[in-house]
Amino acid sequence: MPSVHTLQNEYWQAGVLPETGASLAFGRIQQEGAWHDVLRPTPEASTGNSSACSSFVMLPWCNRIKGGVLRFDGQEYALRTAKDDGTARHGDVRGRAWQVEIAEAARIRLTFRSSDYADINWPFPFSARLDYTLNGREFIWALMLKNESDHPAPAGFGHHPYFVRPVGEEVEVQIPCGEYFPLTNFMATGEPQPIPPELDFRKPRDLDERELNHLLTGRIIPQPAKLAYPARRIRLAFHSAPVFAHWLIFAPQGQPFVALEPMTNASDGFNLLADGHEGGGVFILQPGEEKMGIVRLVLESAG
């Protein structure tokens, strides 16, 4: 069973799984002397499965690449695909072990090198670094990706956190985005459009029992995304760096969780770029170049 490194201070308690893609096993806040899950807790028997974790890292791409075909600079590269939908999905680091460089009570640093794996599912060598840090009310995720190849390389990264969504309880969400990508089979196929009323989360609104799997963009920077549990008097603010240009909200009906995913690239953003669309968020790293994105999950109130 994968080992768990626990971070803790007076506000936060978080479990990190270095051997499971640097995923999170749990994320809890302290309220009235007790710990309460705000991230969906991982069953003990499932800590080796990133899909069952509280959060996992998507890198060197976010979400899906249609047909597993990466098109870049006039070349096509075949990637391994998921059996259920035939796409290359959620990057290639979440199921692999990361190395622990620093492990302290309120901070852990993990690193990853694609060259350590002969079967890496990406044609361009890369490395990555991830720092999880507790600083007062802030749970900070600092993610860095570096192009280790001799050629320019397309890339993207993001986080896939699942928050608790208690059945029958009000959960308020606010996402400061004024546009969205129409999706076909969960993938963007063109330019973003003005956001319709049913997807407009620029002001806090209850999730109700609705089912959502939508990609929002047109961020209003520097406004944070927010998540609130009024009955529990818990409010969280999700501050993310501008490089995270897109938010995916995934709230399957009847399930006790909601995923709020800060992502640098849109779903199938690599094909958007290859087709001449500029708004997909894929960045091009020159040889040796790094890109960093920081997310701060801030406990604004807890009763």
127-153 pLDDT, tens digit per residue, is 999 999 999 999 999 999 999 999 999
**Sequence-ordered list of residues with C-beta below 8 angstroms from that of 244, at least 6 positions apart, any chain:** 158, 219, 262, 263, 264, 293, 295
Is pLDDT of 209 > 80? no
pTM (whole model) above 0.95:
yes
pLDDT band at 164 (very low <50, low <70, confident <90, very high): very high
Residue 127: per-residue pLDDT: 98
> What sign does the CA torsion over 290, 291, 295, 296 have?
positive
The predicted structure's pLDDT at residue 253 = 87
pLDDT at 38 over 90: yes
Q: What is the pLDDT of residue 219?
A: 97
pLDDT higher than threshold 80 for residue 246: yes
Q: What is the reported pLDDT for 66?
A: 97
Radius of gyration for the chain, computed over Cα atoms and rounded to the nearest angstrom:
18
Domains annotated for the chain, with CATH where assigned, are 5-302 (2.70.98.10)
Q: Do residues 292 and 146 touch, judged by C-beta distance below 8 A?
A: no
The single-letter code of the amino acid at 288 is: G
Distance CA 180, CA 157 (A): 19
Between CA 76 and CA 34 the distance in angstroms is: 53
pLDDT of residue 168: 87
Identify the CA nearest to 72 among candidates 126, 127, 146, 122: 122
Reported as a pLDDT band with limits 50, 70 and 90, residue 60 is very high
d(CA 131, CA 16): 11
List the 234-240 sheet strands across, edge first: 99-103, 107-113, 126-135, 138-147, 290-302, 234-240, 225-229, 172-174, 205-206
Do residues 77 and 40 lie in contact, with contact meaning Cβ atoms separated by under 8 Å?
Answer: no
The mean of the pLDDT values for the chain is: 97
Note the pLDDT tens digit of each residue in 81-131: 999 999 999 999 999 999 999 999 999 999 999 999 999 999 999 999 999
Length of the chain: 303
What is the 3-class SS of the chain, one letter each residue? Answer: CCCCEEEECCCEEEEEECCCCCEEEEEEEEECCEEEEEECCCCHHHCCCHHHCCEEEEECCCCEEHHHEEEECCEEEECCCCCCCCCEECECCCCCCCEEEEECCCEEEEEEEHHHCCCCCCCCCEEEEEEEEEECCEEEEEEEEEECCCCCEEECCEEEEEEECCCCCCCEEECCEEEEECEECCEECCCCEECCHHHCCCCCEECCCCCEEEEEEEECCCCCEEEEEHHHCEEEEEEECCCCCEEEEEECCCCCEEEEEEECCCCCHHHHHHCCCCCCCCEEECCCCEEEEEEEEEEEEEC
Q: What are phi and psi of 110, to 5 degrees?
A: -125, 145
